[in-house]
Structure 1
């Protein structure tokens, strides 16, 4: 049975709404972490809150091509800077982006540059150097010739704890195993490769999972897996923050954190596919570059 335009219009709406709902759950959980930080460093400060800014994408003649929400918290008790962005955008890819998609083998992209994309993107940089930074995103992409899902989550501690890494990976594996027992090993290896910084000869963190171009031919199955990845994020990350946010830190710990953030910034500006795509498709530059840390150091 061939999928109709109406089928995919309904699926797009479902995916977009789910990403929006996930954003609401994560924002509430992160503000809850701010409120519940009752002891330890910075617990006497005012709890942080997200500032929400609408974003929009305009066509060449000013027509509506979608948008979303940029939600950023700065200077909280627990989070030094965290962004949780959602967007649903459409239109035609610029020639450079169209060429890149065609080179990836997207069917019909050489002839028809139309696209639709929706997703959630999250990056958190923490106050306490013992608390790991983290990245998560999930998304759906559609063109007239193809559709696919992508996403994942990876942990980026400057001070590594083996038990924290093990917990994060266990939750990511649980999300994968619920759908396909081969997914975790494959997507973990993909994350290790994708989040590697060639000019530094090292990974930017301790990994997680990463996947892209996921189209098994069963939209419902692939959407369900993507939902599991998104829903598995808070159980993977939140317990680590609840445990580490009470620890004292030294000036040496802060220096290590700032140097590690330099690695993160280098990767996102030089290699990250999402950063390049967002800027090349005309999305709000502040929302695209939300992932950058508030303060970093290089030597």
Structure 2
């Protein structure tokens, strides 16, 4: 399987980087377009790009990526668009977690390779929803799979925004099978639920994990379309809301909502746990946390 998927792994890593470049350019264009209205007197935000490197226990190269973060822009208060490709040997805790999920061969060959894109956007305007998107490919000598999705996290919900976000994702997923969007929507509803709050993190989206139908090309095509759906699903909502005036009460609602968002990411999110457990740059792993939050 190592040889069989070498070219495929390279294609996946290249796609995640291409998607990252497209999103970064689109978000900087949004900043440039805010020439009037709220915070238009700020400098247009730009991404600060940092290379991340990961080393194994013996000091050898174990991959890395790019951490791209924009702070204090006109529209985006904090947004990160990270890509990484990491590899090496899983530690005992990570091996046990993989074995518990049913990944074969972890006890005999704990090598792994993982590549993906991870995005979280926290907005200046409380009327513009926060958003998350992540897609990834994971490989071991005995298994491979795709995972991820995207979900919308408004602090002030507008029904038409939620409808657009879901309708766009459905349009991109329907060519892969009419039953797929309902399945991945339900999975997102379950995955992004916060048990201790007895509520959802946001208004949902789509999510999948351990996606391996046996057809790598089909699963990769689905993963690409989840990524391709992101900008058409999200940017129209930014355009619709970015000029809306807000009050201090609106900002208070946003900060409290961010606290709940942070709780989920620190307590339940599988990607956060994996990134920290495998020794990836903690600043990149915790990029998803908001710049400001509040608890009541």
Please name the residue that 1:148 is paired with. 145
Query: What is the TM-score normalised by the length of structure 1?
Result: 0.98
Secondary structure in 2 matching 1:130 = coil
TM-score normalised to structure 2 length: 0.99
Q: How does 1:22-171 map to 2 (within 5 A)?
A: 22-171=19-168
Give CA-to-partner distance per residue, 1:225-265, whole Å, 9 cap, x none. 00000011000000100110000000000000000000000
Indicate the RMSD between aligned Cα atoms, in angstroms. Answer: 0.7
Report the counterpart of residue 281 of structure 1 in structure 2: 278
- Which ranges of 4 or more aligned residues in structure 1 deviate by more than 2 Å? 4-7
1:197 aligns with 2:191: no
Counterparts of 1:240 and 1:110 in 2: how far apart (Å)? 47
SS of the aligned residue for 1:249 comes to: coil
What secondary structure sits across from 2:126 in the alignment?
Answer: coil
Q: Which moved more, 1:177-186 or 1:151-160?
A: 177-186
Classify the secondary structure of the residue corresponding to 1:65.
strand
SS class of match (2:5) = helix
> Helix, strand or coil for the counterpart of 1:96?
helix
Q: Indicate whether 1:264 and 2:252 are aligned.
A: no
C-alpha distance after superposition, 1:23-61 (max 9, x if no partner): 000000000000011221001211000000000110112
Provide the secondary structure at the position in 2 that maps to 1:216.
coil
The alpha carbon displacement at 1:174 in A equals: 1.3
What is the distance in 1 between the residues matched to 2:180 and 2:104? 24
Distance of 2:81 and 2:4 partners within structure 1? 29
SS at 1:294 equivalent:
coil
Deviation at 1:173, TM superposition (A): 0.8
Aligned residue runs from structure 1 range 241-256, under 5 A: 241-256=238-253
Aligned residues: 296
User: Which sections of structure 2, spanning at least 5 residues, go unmatched?
Assistant: none
Equivalent residue number for residue 214 of structure 1: 211
Cα deviation for residue 138 of structure 1 reads: 0.5
For 1:130-171, what per-residue CA distance to the aligned partner results, in whole angstroms no more than 9, with x for missing partners?
000000011000000100000100000000000000000011
Per the TM alignment, residue 107 of structure 1 is displaced from its structure 2 partner at its CA by 1.4
Q: Return the alpha-carbon distance in structure 1 between the equivalents of residues 102 and 90 of structure 2.
A: 15
Partner SS for 1:199: coil
- Matches of 1:139 and 1:178 in 2, distance apart? 21
State the 1:5 CA deviation. 3.2
CA contact (8 A) 2:2 2:141 kept: no
Counterpart selection for 1:237 from 234, 238, 262: 234
Partner SS, residue 36 of structure 2: coil
Cα offset for 1:93? 0.6
The CA distance in 2 between the partners of 1:218 and 1:39, in whole Å, is 49
